[in-house]
Amino acid sequence: MASEPIVALPPSWPAMSLPLVQSLLTAPGARFEMAEVEIHGIATRVWKNAPPTMRFLLEASRAHADRVFVIYEDERVGYEAHYRAAAALAAHLVSLGIGKGDRVALAMRNLPEWPVAFFAAVSIGAIMVPLNAWWTGAELDYGLRDSGARVLIVDGERHGRLEAVYAGLPDLERVIVARATTPLAAGVERLEEVIGTPAAWPALADAALPAADIAPDDEATIFYTSGTTGAPKGALGSHRNFMTNIMSSGYTAARSYLRRGETPPEPTPRVSLTVIPMFHVTACSAGMMGSIASGSTMVFLRKWDATRALEIIEREKVNMTGGVPTIAWQLLEHPDRARYDLSSLDTIAYGGAPSAPELVRRIHEEFGALPGNGWGMTETTATVTQHGGEDYLNRPDSAGAPVATADIEVRGRDGVTVLPANAIGELWARGPMIVSGYWNKPEATAATFIHGWVRTGDLARIDEEGFLFIADRAKDIVIRGGENIYSIEVENVLYAHPSVTDAALVGVPHRTLGEEPAAIVHLCPGCEASEAELQAFVRERLAGFKVPVAIRFLSEPLPRNANGKILKKDLKALFADHVPMTV
């Protein structure tokens, strides 16, 4: 079950084993030294040198002064301006009676106001509730009711969806609208009247944050799960959860250097093109927290557009981008890619959806960049494992090894038995990045969070060296006549076809077999492939029972939720007219 490297690596690689790397990086006095603390009554390894809270991080960010923090369209916001805006909004929230434990909801596309609102709330001990900006009015109404938010900070577009439901929300006391496009009713505030427009933030008063007593394990956020099945659940995160990601990302970057026999450099500011929504933990926790710690710049796109992304990479000398594999595919397949100077781009990283080894190879060969990915979920505040550099090139179908403060196990159906290396079972994880549970859902919390571990629902295996391989979501597995078909395995083969840039495998009903595998694909611009051709391509590489019995072609990339997960439930409708073959 070993991975096949996609490039030839030097005989001297790896220069160090993973255990040796960990012992060096986490030694006493080292940057990534660990300590043991009690979190909710459970002894847990933590990063000893992680910032204690997000309030601390915001105050420390002033050291970056006039470095650019956020770029959006023609707006550029420096770190000091961002701090002053957040401090002013925090003071306003306190004046409204908001304090520790109160929920403040945020429904907004990626705008400079997003991190201002986020840090204003968490810095006074309130619980920030970032709502999915793609949700309908009814779904946003659910999030506001479920969280019991007292204040909503919203952009003009989301305000239009929600205006009619405000009066029926029993807990909502105040609405603050950014970039309103219509007249506002009495009692609804304009954010610009509180802190001004981004251009005015540098001139705001140099004021301290309102006083607040915040500890690392205090509740800080409610991020809703993607809700591909059933109602979304609010994952209740802490300040420590978010600060853990800063150190985890730094640790895995240093690990890559030591694995190739090089000394890790000091962290330096970088420019990232952020194309996934900030209401997703990957962008907010794994992305924004590390950016602030290093004084880096985040470029926001109003909406994803591959041509616009190429223009920004060239103009802003972007160092890294990604989000989900589809973004990397669209950059690779763009017909005008050669017209742009992309030489600054050295990393394309993604999570939230599986990637094909073929994508890893093409990123390395055609961009000259190092691919990166990792595994995490809303319940883990993003990062548990990370993968990059030569380790990724050597194991292109892996999600990487866990960071030093995390433990992962693959367990049997009893939820207790730990399976041996390379056996497939349910993935369990623990560490200081795991949230405490689900907001107001004690039964779901008890079923998912057990003695410091989270049972993920992912089917996975862990190889002899500790690298994680995701096989499938337990609830998405296709079982054909008792034979398990892991969709990622078939999808990766489809991705390897030169005409395919997006692929998903779903199960369609069969009277005697239970279900059969069927595929949905999107082809690259100007490319062609028939159903029979793709079926033959899979048949040459996998067992016959894994070959899709039917393939549908979409003219656009496959539909995804905001977390990058393909909406397979929606895609199954494409096979409503499928007639199963007789067995």
Please check whether the domain covering 481-575 is classified as CATH 3.40.50.300: no
Given a contact cutoff of 8 angstroms between Cβ atoms, the answer to whether 81 and 113 are in contact is no
Give the relative orientation of helices 239-259 and 18-25 as an angle to the nearest 10 degrees. 120
What three-state secondary structure class fits 447?
A: helix
* 3-state DSSP of 490-514: HHHHHHHCCCEEEEEEEEEEECCCE
Tell me the one-letter amino acid at 325: P
Report whether 144 contacts 169 (CB < 8 A). Answer: yes
Report the amino acid identity of residue 580: P
Q: Give me the CATH code for the 54-214 domain, please.
A: 3.40.50.980
Phi, psi of 234 (to 5 degrees): -85, 115
User: In the structure encoding, which two tokens stand for residue 484, read together?
Assistant: 């398990």
Q: Mind spelling out the 3-state secondary structure of 519-547? A: EEEEECCCCCCCHHHHHHHHHCCCCHHHC
Which pLDDT score, from 0 to 100, does residue 485 have?
83
CB 176 within 8 A of CB 154: yes
Q: Round to whole Å and give the CA distance between 122 and 96.
A: 15
What totals of helices (H) and strands (E) does the chain contain, helices first? 18, 29
3-state secondary structure of 253: helix
- What pLDDT, on the 0 to 100 scale, is given for residue 583? 42
Tokens of 120: 């204003």
| The pLDDT value given to residue 328 | 85
pLDDT at 197: 98
Nearest to 153 by CA among 124, 169, 127, 174: 174
Helix, strand, or coil (residue 235) = strand
**Of 244, 247, 534, 256, nearest to 395 (Cα)?**
256
pLDDT at 521: 97
Instruction: Give the Cα separation of 520 and 491 in Å (integer).
Output: 10
Amino acid code (one letter) for 530: S
Q: Which one, of 105, 120, 116, lies nearest residue 55 by Cα?
A: 120
In angstroms and rounded to an integer, the radius of gyration of the C-alpha atoms of the chain is 24
Q: What's the pTM value of the predicted model, to 2 decimals?
A: 0.86
Rounded CA-CA distance 207/461 in Å is 51
Residue count of the chain, please give it. 583
Q: Which fold has domain 235-473?
A: Rossmann fold (3.40.50)
Q: What is the torsional sign of CA 107, 112, 113, 115?
A: positive
Q: Are 93 and 121 in contact (CB under 8 A)?
A: yes
Pairing between β-strand 219-224 and β-strand 500-510 as defined by DSSP bridges: unpaired
Cα dist. 246→57, 242, 283, 463, 498 in Å?
10, 7, 12, 26, 37
Q: What is the structure's pLDDT at 223?
A: 97
What integer pLDDT is reported at residue 253 of this predicted model? Answer: 94
Which residues does residue 460 pair with via DSSP β-bridges, in sequence order? 425, 470
pLDDT along the chain (583 residues), means of 10: 71 94 98 97 98 98 96 98 98 98 98 98 98 86 96 96 92 97 92 98 98 98 73 93 97 96 94 93 94 98 92 98 82 93 92 70 87 91 92 91 98 96 97 97 96 94 95 75 77 92 90 84 94 95 88 93 78 84 49
How far is Cα of residue 132 from the mean position of the Cα atoms in its chain? Answer: 13
Looking at residue 359, its pLDDT comes to 83
pLDDT of 555 reads 93
Give the per-residue pLDDT at 582. 46
Give kind and range of the element (H or E) at residue 338.
Answer: none
Task: Determine contact, residues 326/350, Cβ cutoff 8 Å.
Answer: no
Give the start-to-end residue ranges of the domains of the chain: 54-214, 235-473, 481-575
